[in-house]
Each structure stands twice: as structure tokens, then as C-alpha cells.
A and B are shown apart, each in its own frame.
Chain A
Amino acid sequence: MTHHPAFRGSDQELLPAGHRVGEWTVTEPIGEGGWATVYAARRAGGTTAAAGPDDTGGAADTVALKVLPTAGLAPRQARQVAEAARRETELARTAPHPRLVRLLDSLTLSAPDHPALDGAVVLVMERARGTLRDLLATGVDEDRGGRIIAGICEGLAHLHRSGWVHTDLKPENVLIGPDGEVRLSDFGLAVELTGTHGHCAPMGTPDYLPPERWKEPLGEHGIKIRSTADIWALGIVIHEVFAAGVPPFPGATPTARGAAAQQYAEGRADLRLAAAVPPFWRALAADCLAPTHAARAPHTAESLLARIRAHQAGHRPRRRRPRPRTALVALAACASAAVTAALWPDPGPAAHPSRVRVFNAERSCQDRADRDPRCSLGLAVDPLRPYTADNVVPTRVWHGDLLDADCQLPAGLPVIDEEDRTSTLWYRVHLPGPTTAWLPAVRTKDRPTLLRCP
């Protein structure tokens, strides 16, 4: 293969930390894609008056800068980059939604000392905590996975309703926002439909392309694309979420898996989804992975979302807290007890009650003192029963509250927090009045030495 070093070398150049882009200062590169490099950045000049009580905490002071260089590119490629940037801004402008990554600004980079980057398009976006791909590497339980898929469906339903197709849905492009919720991102290939379909450039990620795509002819405007392409990709993502990142089609390479998908679509092989995928999600993935556009068409993002909502309502009674976000997640499996022991080594018994400070992992709740109900945390009546609405005491607690703990239960119901730490340790705490309740250990950073509860 012939390489042209002159055309590759310039790609490697990065903005140094401290470089000023508009009102932002680059901190470090956090990712690279086909056309762009993404940097973390913070508001230049340090603290501003912006962090008021209604602000989302410190989140607004750190952003992600997506830098799309155009210098050194052939005119046609530069046009493609500009076109990708235009689509991203257009979509953000016309169809904003809580499940789509928020575009804060777009500007042109001035970097005379870095000719390869001078004139690059910069998209300023809200900073995410990470991608779904990162999360898959650490493992996602059924409840969390379900919320993520529901979030993706909300985003897709909104996109499709607004007449857009994402065309490049994959775990890399599903970001997890500072609040732990899904943000779909990377709309550089998104297509606005005219009628039932649109046309897109012949680009994609092989593992997520629907089987009909391999046969779709290339016309003057590109390849015909319909919203069912996103639904197929969603089916692949559902499988990956519940099968520890393993794609549904067998094969060692994306091309081998593409061939296997083709074999399935042509009826020469059955769909064999991993047994690890829970039945409800397996059925959902199978519908998303219906072999043809026509068979997939009835399964719109909207209808899939309705099924997920019904499933979630049937499984879990509504929490008392109004936020859609589940702060504490009861794990169905009990296998994590051993892990817990390693995470929270038993400090040995002590006799005296001890104070613990409540910790809310939600950063936007840490700085506020207004006791907003959305930032409140619950305490359990019984740490051995599932953490559902009827197992929560009426008293709420907030970040920073001090509680008196008098004993601990090392093997209560496993709980995972927003950082995906699992713990089965609970503290019995005293509430005003002669009552007690149970605080999961993930809700405090304190590790008091307490006797085991009777």
C-alpha cells in the first residue's frame, strides 16, 4: 500500500494544553475520530459568575471542543469536513433535545503557530463523562443497561420525529452526560430525510450497518438511507449492552461479522443472540435486527420506547422521587458480595455511634443548599428488601447532611451508585424522632468503625 507521508504527518499535530480557543482553554485531548480530535477545555480566566444555583454546577465551565482541521486537506475533503460541521450545527439548532449532546457554540480556530490547525472548525459541546463504549468495558447491569437503551431510544425517536437519521449509531457515539444520562453525539453523517428516505455519503461503521446497505446502489446523491438503518444499529447496541460488549453476529473482524449478518438476512443462518441478554431485551434486539427494511419498519424508535417504558413500569413500581434517574439501583444478582468484601474491608467492631456525612454522587447536587427535592436521597426501611417505593422512609436526606450511624450491616441488598461501584454495606442511622432507617454505604464517603447490627 502506498502511503503519502506528506498527507499524514499533519494529521498528528495536536493543540497544546493551555491553547486558547475563543473563551476556552484547552486542557488535554480526549479522543480522536475520522475527521476530528476532541479536547477537554475549561472556561478561560478560571472562575466566573456563571456558577449560580440554577447552573448545572461546575459542568458548564468544562466543555469538549471538537476540532475539525481543514488546512492541508484537498478542497473536496475540506468541503466534506465543512459539510459535516454544518450538519452538526444545523441539527443542534433545529432539533435540540436532552438526549442529544448540546452544542454550545461553533467557531473557527485561530492558531497561526499551528498551520495544520489554523482555520479548523471548532464545535463547542457539553463535556460528557465518557462514552457507552467505555462503560461497556466496565460492565453494565440490566437496570442501568435498560436506562441507557431507553435514553438512546428517546434520542432516536426525537431525531426520527424531526426528520433526521443518525446513520452512525454505535457505543462510541453514545455519550454519558455529567448527569449519567445518554447523549447521542456525532451528527457529522446525520441525514435529513425528504419523504421516506434521504441520501448519505457512502460512510459507516461496518459492524452497525444494516444488511441491505451492502447491496444498496450508489446514486448521484449517495446511498439511500431510511430510519430503519438506525433501528438495526440500535439492535446491535442493545446486544452489546447486555452481552458485555459482544456483537450479535459471529466473526473475528467487522467484515466477517458483516458477512454473517448478510448470511442471516438472506435466510441461510438464524439469528443467535447471546443467552446473557435478558428475554425482554433479546426480543427487542431481535425486532430491531429484523432482516429487511420492510420487516424492521414497524419497529420505530417510538414504539420500541413505549415497549421499554411498559416493561420498566411493570418491573419496578414508581419511585417516590420524581426524577427519571434512578439514584440507587438494586442488583438482582447477589454475586457481588465477594467483590464488596474486597471494596470495603471490615474495619473491626467498635462500640460507639458515629457521624456520617451524606454524599450525593450527582455533582450538580453537591453545591446547592436549597434542598431541592430533585437532589434528595432516600433511606431504606429494610436493607434486605428491594429498594422500591414502599421500602423508603418518608424522611429525605441531602448531600452534606450529618447522620448518626449506630451499627452496620455488611451483607444487605447490593447497591450500585452512579460511578458503578457496588456495595452491600448499609449503615443504620437515627432520624429525628425515635426512628431508624438505613443508608447505603455508597451514599457516604465516611467509613465509621461500627458494630455489626443485631
Chain B
Amino acid sequence: MSGILVHLPEGNGDEAVTLRLGPGERARFGRGSAGTPVELRLGDETVSRLAGEIHATDDHWQLSNLSSTHAYLVENPEGAGEYLRVPPRRIGAPIPFEFSRVVLPSRRETPLCFQVFAPDHVYLDPHARGAGSWESRTMTAYSLDETATYFLVLVALCEPWLRDRSPAAVPTTPQVVARLRGHPACARLTPRAVSSHLDYLADEKLRIDLPDDAARADRRNGKREAVVGLALKFGIVREEHLALLPRPDAVEPGR
């Protein structure tokens, strides 16, 4: 249980901010002022000084809407339009998504939003069985959502090994984008998104240990190879997962 990650992208009236909250920790958000300090500053005049609070708890997080007039939306970017509405003055609404985009009303053209990642969600192992309580089962300590885009990216990266187990090169980011294009959830997947999924897998889900001395470019390749190597070694991705990928013949020729 490592907690959650809150990311405020650049351009919400301030520079980008990333906060890591351990279980039980809180972060306030809003316009802020000398008298009302906030951890996440949203420099927009439509936002209250203290607009709300995020509280990391259990394997998820809670959103308190401290505005007395505006509802906030929490969208699941991978949920095909799935969202929650948190009404004004609602305290501690539990948020079930692993990925969330919190959208606050704004008069600007682009909505005011920030992201929250909850990588601690736990899934039972697919082969788990047993008559006893699931609570006391031995399981893989890193559970991945096999319906998430990051898992598709991981399977695509591991595919060459799973198909013929020859030491081939790990697919490049453009190759992954091309490979997944036929998947309904990945029609608009960008190379940049693939890179973020890879970072999320390596840094937040699998917490891969990479040597610090490698140069930046090597680091990215090293990370890609390390993710694939460990996912295969510890059975996180297996042959059966190939069924999640679009049929190979749907791939454009010349890949």
C-alpha cells in the first residue's frame, strides 16, 4: 500500500505539481491564500480559496467537495464515459477508479482538472482458487487490472517472447501503438500515452529497481526491457493474455 499520486498538469494557472500521499494523508486544493494554504493550488478565479480535499485511505481515496455551490466531476478516462458527480458539501466521497480526472467548473475554455492515480487496487490472481477465505490467500503482490490500457501495452511489449520465446528486441513505442490500433480501447492511443503507461507500470505498479547510472535514453530502453523481463519472469503476463490483443492479421502490413 503505497498510497496515491496526484498530478496537476501545467497550465491550470500554475506550473505542474505532483504529490504523493501515503495512506491516511490529505491534500487540500483550491485557489489558496495567505490565510488558507493549499497543497494543490488551482490559480483560477472561479475556484474557491479552499475548494476541496483529497484523502488517501485504504486502497483508494476520498474526495470532499468544500464548495457550497459547485458539483465536481470525477471521470474515469479509461471507463468509456464513466464518471461520478460529487455534489456540493459532500464529505469523503469514495472514488473507485484507479485513474481519475477531477474536473472543476471553470469559465475558461478548457476545464480545470487534475489527475489522481490509485495504484494500490488489488485483484485476485486469475488462477486463485481454494475453499478458504480469499482474504488469507497467497497472491501476487502486484496486481494489475487486466482490462486497463496499461495491461494491453504490457502484453503487446511481451508478445514476441510469448509467441516464439526467441530473444527478440522489445517492441518500440511506435510498434506498440501500431499493434494496439485495432483494439477498440486503443484507437486513439498516442506514443506519448504508451510512454506514460510504461512509466506507470515501472514506477507505480511493479516498482522496478533500475540502476541509477544509466543515461536518460538508456534508462527508457532499460525500463522497457526490465518491465518485460520481470512481467514474464514472475508470470504477470502469460500466454493466455495474448487473447486480449487484437488478432495479429488486423495489424497493418509492413509492421
| Residues of A that sit less than 8 Å from B by CB | 1-4, 6-8, 11-12, 31-34, 74, 76-77, 80, 133, 168, 170-172, 189, 201-207, 209, 213-220, 222-223, 251, 253-256, 258-263, 266, 268-269
Contact = CB atoms under 8 A, between A and B. Distances in A.
B129 A201 contact: no
A8 B127 contact: yes
B136 A205 contact: yes
A253 B1 CA distance: 12
Given A219-B209, A223-B141, 9 more contacts: A4-B243, A34-B129, A76-B233, A202-B141, A203-B140, A217-B209, A218-B206, A220-B229, A258-B59
Nearest to A35: B127
Contacts of A202: 140-142, 234
Interface residues of B, number: 48
Contacts of B22: 262-263, 266, 268
B44 interface: no
B130 A34 contact: yes
A74 B209 contact: no
Closest 4 CB pairs of A and B: A217-B209, A259-B23, A255-B59, A32-B130
B120 A255 contact: yes
A70 to B, nearest CB: 12
B203 to A, nearest CB: 10
Contact of B138 (A7, A205, A260, A269): A205
Contacts of A205: 136-139
B232 interface: yes
B240 A34 contact: no
Contacts of A262: 1-3, 22-23
Contacts of B207: 215-218
Interface centre among B136, B140, B239, B244 (most CB of A within 10 A): B136
A34 B139 CA distance: 8
A266 B2 CA distance: 11
A32 B137 CA distance: 10
Nearest to B23: A259
A218 to B, nearest CB: 5
Interface in B212-255: 226, 229-230, 232-235, 238-240, 243-244
A223 B122 CA distance: 18
B78 interface: no
A11 B127 contact: yes
A269 B147 contact: no
B14 interface: no
8 contacts: A1-B146, A31-B130, A32-B130, A74-B238, A203-B141, A204-B138, A253-B59, A263-B22
